Amino acid sequence: MITLQNNELILQVALQGAEMQSLKDVRTGYEYLWQRDPEFWNGTSPILFPSVGGHWDGQYRYDGRVWSMTKHGFVRKQVWTVLEQSETHAVLSFTPTAEELANYPFPCRIQVTFRLDGRKLTSAFAVENLGESTMYFQMGGHPAFNLPDYDRDEPLSGYITLEGEPKSLLRAMDQGCTAPERFPVPFDAEGRIPCCKETFDNEALIFDEHQVKAATFVRKDGTKLLRIESDAPVWLFWSPQGQHAPFVCPEPWYGLCDRIGFDGELSERPYINALAAGQTWNGGFVVDLY
């Protein structure tokens, strides 16, 4: 575990998966990140690579072969290396081994940089293609933020407001893959998404087509908790299906899960990133804490 701290925030990151596991306010001790209670979900903020979401039948096609890939990829289960660390920033790196390359034939180096600047947290992704051919991948964040107004006996725990042009959403159904139908955004009368069980009765809210630019978590009294921003083309908002849970995950994804029944090539996967040999790709997200 590594720890970063400034006068406002304390961040702890596990070496397994380069996963943020705690983000606290220095003055109040308030914990922003969900703390791995298996009653609801035993994660906190995994990094998703080289896939986001599920592959139909757990398989993809590339170079005349059929390959296997688990949901959300494999880097969240691997131990990363610390390349740099200061009081307020750290760079962690992972290079797939021969074992991972047996199911993902693209030599590469993945880095994530965490940085604290006042009340701002930056999580920056970088992927370098170390191979000799075009590399295909997806990448995403999956941070889970606590809802301070959560009460088991109260149905509403706050709100989410969106920036951009959110008009409709997709849903993941069979095998966690998307159906072709589009659904209305569950806005309330004031244009907010309520944080309640009913909002997530049909799994995650999936916004594709660059509909969302940023999201703000708002307490029941109208005050802001945090704002998360990313240039990712796809955003998911997830809380455990059918449960009144104490957290919501705003997930900026550079990619999207398969469509139901998809049997095309890896290069045809929704929002796949194609990275030329020797090139580096960058992405990530920024969180402002109020």
pLDDT tens digits, one per residue of 263-288: 999 999 999 999 999 999 999 999 99
The answer to whether 89 and 113 are in contact (CB under 8 A) is yes
- Residue 20: the pLDDT is 98
- Residue 220: the pLDDT is 97
Residues in the chain: 290
Backbone φ and ψ for 8, nearest 5 degrees, come out as: -115, -40
Low-confidence ranges of the chain (pLDDT < 50): none
How many domains would you assign to the chain? Answer: 1
The answer to whether 79 and 51 are in contact (CB under 8 A) is no
* Proportion of the chain above pLDDT 70, given as a percent: 100
Question: In sequence order, which residues have a C-beta less than 8 Å from that of residue 11 and are 6 or more positions away?
Answer: 3, 4, 5, 20, 22, 23, 114, 116, 121
pTM (2 d.p.): 0.96
- Residue 172: the pLDDT is 92
Q: How far apart are CA 3 and CA 220, in angstroms?
A: 31
pLDDT tens digits, one per residue of 222-274: 999 999 999 999 999 999 998 999 999 999 999 999 999 999 999 999 999 99
> By residue range, what is the domain housing residue 115?
2-289
- Residue 226: the pLDDT is 98
- Residue 42: the pLDDT is 94
- Residue 72: the pLDDT is 94
The answer to whether 286 and 122 are in contact (CB under 8 A) is yes
Q: How far apart are CA 95 and CA 87, in angstroms?
A: 25
* Proportion of the chain above pLDDT 90, given as a percent: 98
CATH assignment at residue 238: 2.70.98.10
3-class secondary structure per residue, the chain:
CEEEECCCEEEEEECECCEEEEEEECCCCCECECCCCCCCCCCCCCEEECCCCCCHHHEEEECCEEEECCCCECHHHCECEEEEECCCEEEEEECCCHHHHCCCCCCEEEEEEEEEECCEEEEEEEEEECCCCCEEECEEECCCEECCCCECCECCCCEEEEEECCCCEECECHHHCECCCCECCCCCCCCCEECCHHHHCCCCEEECCCCEEEEEEECCCCCEEEEEECCCCEEEEECCCCCCCCEEEEEEEECCCCECCCCCEHHHCCCCEEECCCCEEEEEEEEEEC
Q: How far apart are CA 234 and CA 210, in angstroms?
A: 6
- Residue 273: the pLDDT is 98
